[in-house]
Amino acid sequence: MLKFDFTNALGENLLDGIKYEDIKGITGRLHAFLENFRQNPPGFVKVFKDSSHLEQILKVADKCKKFENFVLVGIGGSALGNQAVFGALFHPMWNSLPKDKRNGFPRFFVMDNVDPEHIASILDIVDPAESVFNIVSKSGSTSETMANYLVVRGILEARGLDPREHLVFTTDPNEGVLRKISIDENIPALEVPSNVGGRFSVLTAVGLLSGASTGVDVKKMLDGAQEEVDRFKNEDDTFKNPVLLNAAIHYLYSRSGKSISVMMPYSNALYTLADWYRQLWAESLGKEKSLTGETVNAGQTPIKSLGTIDQHSQVQLYMEGPNDKVITFLRVESFRRNLKIPVVHQDRKELSYLCNNEMKDLINYEQEATSLALLEHGRPNLTISFDSIDETEIGRFFGYYELLVTVMGFLYNINTFDQPGVELGKQNTYALMNRKGYEAQKQHIEDVKKNLKIFKI
């Protein structure tokens, strides 16, 4: 079970920190959210217990397992969750391991950006005849994903390979071009539930197919997420409910000028979770308008760091720079592998203190030391501890943070589930690429550019 330590985030222990009384001042709002949640949970919660949804994923995964390569084609919420699962649960050199060391499961690749060098490098080492390509786009209109799909489709056709054997779509149940192509050409397709947005979709077919195809027990991930939901909805006391308490802490600190939220795992395996968190936090909470139309410019800027590496870079800023951050440490109590530091140079006092210790203890002492140093500098920080890194704990983490940003959005009085700030960039891209229907936007871009004072060197 995930464990939460808020000691270093509260004003009873921290100079100028928010205090119990500050949190008590918003408990009425928190309880109002909790009661509404019990009556009307958001869509992402409903999939955790949807056995029919899981059965479809596992059925398709059985066919994907026969391939040497599983290639995910997606971006943002259609890729980050997959990368987080893979980074947390798989051997760091998985794709370099021989097949028997992978228990026969496929290698895993992600085609996300449209950087031509990045995409070409994947295609250099992936034989399409031995690969299944999972095209993930709920709308079917994501420029980057669809461009990469067309590249893949062109290669399959040039090689004379049947797209029905090498493609799986994950898209809207009824709408969009991918759904139409799947129907017209009998290409296998899984559903993104219509009531689940992209950044909340890691525990749907979007994030579960790649895991199930490469050996992850995805049922345990769903069970872990459901455990966090049950823990959340069954606890009325804010100070015993880790979602409500964390939401209150981040909300109140953001209102007092702490506009940055840092996630710092002390585990390389959890670093990709911080990537997933950054999208969830930024896209869910960064909103210009409130639900009632006022300009609020809500949200904190999410940043990721990696312990211990960033103790030697970013922590200097966190410790002595602007006091505008709330820092969340991720800590692992039981690592899957460990190393003992041998007794060498025991006569050298600069080195002897390390001898005969274990690396797992060193990394956790470094996390504790950093959190205490930040406390002494008046910098609020909290720690989330994983008992171990496994499917259940990772599922708990996903469920926990999806709940957390939902409560945060309620406190900010914003729409947690839209992303209007992303849409203008998409429309401009369509216009610049001469997509039909965007001629007026293309003319608008030209008019804007004419009025710019150009400064280029």
Please state, as a whole number, how many other Cβ atoms lie within 10 Å of the Cβ of residue 101.
Answer: 11
65: tokens are 């397992």
345 annotated active-site? no
CA distance 310 to 304: 10
Collapsed DSSP state (helix, strand, coil) of residue 243: helix
For the beta carbon of residue 383, count every other beta carbon within 10 angstroms: 21
In whole angstroms, what is the distance from residue 136 CA to residue 275 CA?
18
Q: Coil, helix or strand for 203?
A: coil
Known catalytic membership, residue 31: no
Q: 113 with 78: CB under 8 angstroms?
A: no
User: At what angle are helices 80-89 and 391-412 packed, to 10 degrees?
Assistant: 140
Q: In what order do the strands lie in the sheet with 301-304?
A: 3-5, 381-388, 325-334, 260-265, 301-304
| 118 has catalytic annotation | no
Long-range pairs for 153-159: beta carbons < 8 A, 24 or more residues apart: 155/123, 155/128, 156/128, 159/128, 159/129
Among residues 191, 283, 391, 393, which one is catalytic?
A: 283
Q: How far is CA 52 from CA 190, 204, 224, 431, 457, in A?
A: 12, 11, 18, 40, 59
What's the token pair of residue 396?
A: 């708990």
275 touches 84 (CB < 8 A) = yes
- Given the residues 312, 349, 436, 456, select the one marked as catalytic: 312
- Is 215:19 a contact under the CB 8 Å cutoff? no
Rounded distance between C-alpha atoms, residue 390 and residue 179, angstroms: 34
Alpha-carbon distances of 129 from 111, 135, 374, rounded to whole Å? 17, 16, 53
Pairing of strands 381-388, 3-5: antiparallel
Residues annotated as part of the active site: 283, 312, 426
